[in-house]
Structures are given as structure tokens and as C-alpha cells.
């Protein structure tokens, strides 16, 4: 794994040079897109992080975690907020993930589980709405359980891989 | 999200009154705001690097390669879809794979409209339409740039350590979701 990412980067740049692309200018214009992404996530990140800090400081988070304790035997309570927000809002999930990484440490077990959950699930309900919005279909609910399969499998395998397979 | 966010703040305030932690709660809101600023600043650096690299990757034909490799997968998942729809689906899936979400959604919507035109019973979402939505709600990403950038921003010693489990987990999730749709959705 240590070599995979540098190898991918080197391969992309070498192919670009061989194909005589203006690689530097391409990189710069791509980096400008990254700035737009960062600017776009800032306002929702601010909203979610302020609210998340308030939840923790007021003691509400402890109450929620206690209520969820039946489920948390399988899935750690600390990552439940992420699993709950993820299907609804991508920027909300980014905020919650940031909060978890800062609170428990990015390299802790909780931090790694949260990272893998983020990477293997999607903003399912948002996606369902956006994709069906421009079609004539009215009866679309039958897609929901199959979309939910993806998210549930993603969450469970994330926990299993980090906890049992020790990734 | 509207209701969730308002509920988070309002409930926090009510609970803080009950628990007698009003001052801590208010000052923690400002700590949250501050951590949003520091996160976005360190996030932006790593993110810009990756969007730069992925832009180069896109221009050297990585997207076209991915579209070609996805062809058999698309033929299996969308056996009855027309050629136009399949072209859009290929672009949509390869954009998702390369982590270009901004490019994936418009193509996905074009694919949905093409599938919609082929749908004999427009009132009911067709199997192909549902399949496209399901694979978009369980997408696999070659390099999960956002997560790497967030982990780097949070001070991870090895932001990439989660890539392999993310590949395994997202591949499992997407495969099971697509297979169950193919087998059980009527």
C-alpha cells in the first residue's frame, strides 16, 4: 500500500508527459476546482460542527448514545451519528466525520471505522431524490430497500474489517 | 437536513438548560466554528492536490479507459437498456469511480432521462432506472480524496491507511446492492 499511491501519481504524470499534455496547466486548473469544493463545504461544515459541539457539550449526545445502545453492540456508538446522517446529507456527514476524527483521533479504531463507513456509503436519499426528480416515474419507493442494502452492508463490513480483520 | 440541524441546536439548548451547562454549550458552539475554519484550511491543501492530479488523469484518457472496462459490467446490469442510455451510464460510472462527483451527477440524470424515455410504463420506475439509482447510492471510488484530505486535516499519521478496507467494503456493498437489485427487483 505504501507504494500504490505514489505509483499511481507517477504513472499519471508520466503518461501525461508521453502524450505531450500541458500537465502543469492541467494540474493548476484541477487544483482550482479543489478550492471551489473546499469553499462549498465550508458553510455546511461550520453549521454541522457548531451543532455537533453543542450536542456534545450539552450532554444530548450521551442521551442519544444511551438510547441507541441495543444497536451499538454491533456498531460502535461513537460512529452512529455518522451512520444516521450519511444517507441524508453529504456535507452533514463530512461535518460529523470531522468531529469524530478530531475527538477520537484519525488513526484510532473509531476514527478508522468512521473513515471506512464514509468511504463505503453514499448520500442515498439525496441521490434517490435527485435522480428520480427529472423523470416521469411516480412509483419509485421500490428502489429504496435495494439502495439501503448497499449502505447497511457498507457500514457492517467497515466495522468488521477494522475490528476483526485488523486493517 | 433543515429539520435535523434545527433540532440538533434546539435540543442541545434545552438539554443544556436542564443539565445546567448553558455556558459550556454556548462556548462549544464557537469552538465548533473555529474547528470548521482550521479543518477547511488544511482540507483545501490536500484536496486541491488531488483534484489537480485527477484532472491530469482525466485528460490523459483514464475516464475513457474506465468506460471501456465498465462495458461488460453495464451490459450485465442493464441488459435491456438502449445504446444512448448505456453511453451516459458509462460516463456516470467512470466519473464516480474516479471521484468526480460533479461530473457524475449530470451524466447520471441524462442517463435517467434516456431510461425514462424507454420505459413502457412511465408511471412506474423501470428496473433499469432503479438499478442506476442503486449503483449511484453505493459507488466505489479509486482514490477517496475527500476522506484522505479530512484525515490529513485531522492530523493522521497515515491518511491512506483506510484505502484498502474502503475498497473492500465499498466493493462488497456495491456488488451486493447491484446483485440483489438484479435478482429480486421486479
pLDDT tens digits, one per residue of A23-73: 999 999 999 988 988 888 899 889 988 998 898 899 888 888 788 777 777
Please tell me the predicted confidence (pLDDT) of residue A41: 83
CB-nearest to B173 from A47, A48, A150 is A150
Residues B159-172 have a mean pLDDT of 94
For residue B131, pLDDT over 90 is answered with yes
- ipTM confidence: 0.86
Number of H helices, E strands in chain A: 8, 0
Q: Verify whether the Cβ–Cβ distance B40 to A29 is below 8 Å.
A: no
Preferred mutation among B16, B89, B166, B185 to probe A, highest tally of A CBs within 10 A: B166
Provide φ and ψ at A139, rounded to 5°. Answer: -90, 90
The closest alpha carbon to A128, from B105, B168, B116, belongs to B105
Mark which residues 68-97 of B lie under 8 Å from A by CB: none
pLDDT band at residue B171 using 50, 70 and 90 as cut-offs: very high
Confidence band of A114 (pLDDT split at 50, 70, 90): very high
B42 touches chain A (CB under 8 A): no
Average pLDDT over residues B161-185: 94
Q: Is the pLDDT of residue B102 over 80?
A: no
- Selecting from A28, A124, A140 the residue whose C-beta is nearest the C-beta of B52 gives A28
pLDDT in tens, A62-113: 888 788 777 777 788 889 889 988 888 888 899 999 999 999 999 999 999 9
CB contact under 8 A, B129 and A15: no
Residue whose entry in the numeric block shows the C-alpha cell 453549521: A47
**B105/A contact by beta carbon, under 8 A:** yes
CA distance B72 to B62: 17
Cβ A72 vs Cβ B27: under 8 Å: no
pLDDT at A159 over 90: yes
B124: helix, coil or strand?
strand
Which are the contacts of B30, defined by CB distance < 8 A and separation ≥ 6? A50
Hey, where are the domains in chain B? 42-184
Residues A159, A76 contacting (CB under 8 angstroms): yes
Predicted pLDDT at B158: 92
Mean pLDDT, chain B, whole residue set = 91
In three-state secondary structure terms, A139 is strand
For chain A, say whether B122 makes contact (Cβ under 8 Å).
yes
pLDDT tens for each residue of A142-157: 999 999 999 999 999 9
Q: Which of A26, A119, A154 sits opposite B147 (nearest CB)?
A: A119
Q: Output the pLDDT for position A1.
A: 61
Which of B21, B22, B151, B162 should one mutate to test binding to chain A, selecting the residue with the greatest count of A CBs within 10 A? Answer: B162
Chain B residues with CB under 8 Å of A55 CB are 8, 11-12
Residue B103, C-alpha cell as written in the block: 461530473
Name every chain A residue with its beta carbon within 8 A of the beta carbon of B50: 34
- Mean pLDDT, residues B36-62: 89
Mutate to test the interface with B, among A117, A135, A139, A152 (most CBs of B within 10 A): A135
Q: Does B23 touch chain A (CB under 8 A)?
A: no
CB proximity list for B105: less than 8 A, separation 6 or greater: A130
Judging by beta carbons within 10 Å of its beta carbon (0-12, 13-18, 19+), is residue A95 exposed, middle or buried?
A: buried
Lowest mean pLDDT among A55-59, B112-116, B130-134: A55-59
Amino acid at each position: 500500500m505504501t507504494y500504490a499511491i505514489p505509483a499511481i501519481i507517477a504513472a499519471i504524470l508520466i503518461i501525461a508527459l508521453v502524450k505531450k499534455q500541458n500537465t502543469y496547466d492541467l494540474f493548476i486548473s484541477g487544483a482550482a476546482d479543489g478550492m471551489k469544493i473546499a469553499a462549498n463545504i465550508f458553510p455546511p461544515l461550520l453549521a454541522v460542527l457548531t451543532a455537533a459541539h453543542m450536542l456534545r457539550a450539552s450532554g444530548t449526545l450521551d442521551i442519544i448514545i444511551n438510547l441507541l445502545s441495543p444497536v451499538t453492540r454491533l456498531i460502535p456508538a461513537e460512529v452512529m451519528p455518522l451512520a444516521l446522517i450519511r444517507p441524508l446529507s453529504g456535507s452533514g456527514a463530512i461535518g460529523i466525520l470531522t468531529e469524530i476524527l478530531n475527538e477520537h483521533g484519525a488513526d484510532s479504531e473509531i476514527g478508522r471505522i468512521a473513515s471506512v463507513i464514509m468511504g463505503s456509503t453514499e448520500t442515498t436519499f439525496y441521490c434517490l431524490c435527485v435522480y428520480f426528480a427529472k423523470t416521469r416515474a411516480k412509483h419509485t419507493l421500490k428502489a429504496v430497500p435495494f439502495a439501503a442494502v448497499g449502505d447497511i452492508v457498507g457500514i457492517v463490513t467497515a466495522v468488521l474489517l477494522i475490528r476483526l480483520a485488523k486493517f | 437536513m433543515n429539520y435535523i440541524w434545527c433540532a440538533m441546536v434546539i435540543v442541545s439548548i434545552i438539554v443544556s438548560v436542564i443539565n445546567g451547562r448553558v455556558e459550556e454549550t454556548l462556548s462549544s458552539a464557537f469552538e465548533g466554528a473555529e474547528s470548521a475554519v482550521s479543518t477547511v484550511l488544511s482540507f483545501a491543501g490536500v484536496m486541491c492536490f488531488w483534484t489537480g492530479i485527477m484532472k491530469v488523469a482525466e485528460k490523459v484518457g483514464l475516464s475513457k479507459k474506465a468506460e471501456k472496462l465498465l462495458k461488460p459490467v453495464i451490459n450485465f446490469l442493464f441488459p435491456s437498456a438502449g445504446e444512448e442510455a448505456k453511453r451516459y451510464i458509462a460516463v456516470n460510472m467512470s466519473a464516480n469511480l474516479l471521484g468526480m462527483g460533479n461530473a457524475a451527477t449530470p451524466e447520471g440524470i441524462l442517463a435517467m432521462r434516456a431510461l425514462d424515455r424507454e420505459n413502457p410504463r412511465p408511471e412506474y420506475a423501470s428496473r433499469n432506472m432503479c438499478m442506476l439509482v442503486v449503483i449511484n447510492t453505493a459507488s466505489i471510488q479509486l482514490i477517496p480524496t475527500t476522506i484522505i484530505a479530512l484525515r490529513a486535516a485531522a492530523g493522521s499519521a497515515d491518511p491512506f491507511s483506510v484505502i484498502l478496507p474502503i475498497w473492500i467494503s465499498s466493493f462488497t456493498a456495491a456488488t451486493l446492492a447491484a446483485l440483489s437489485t438484479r435478482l429480486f427487483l421486479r
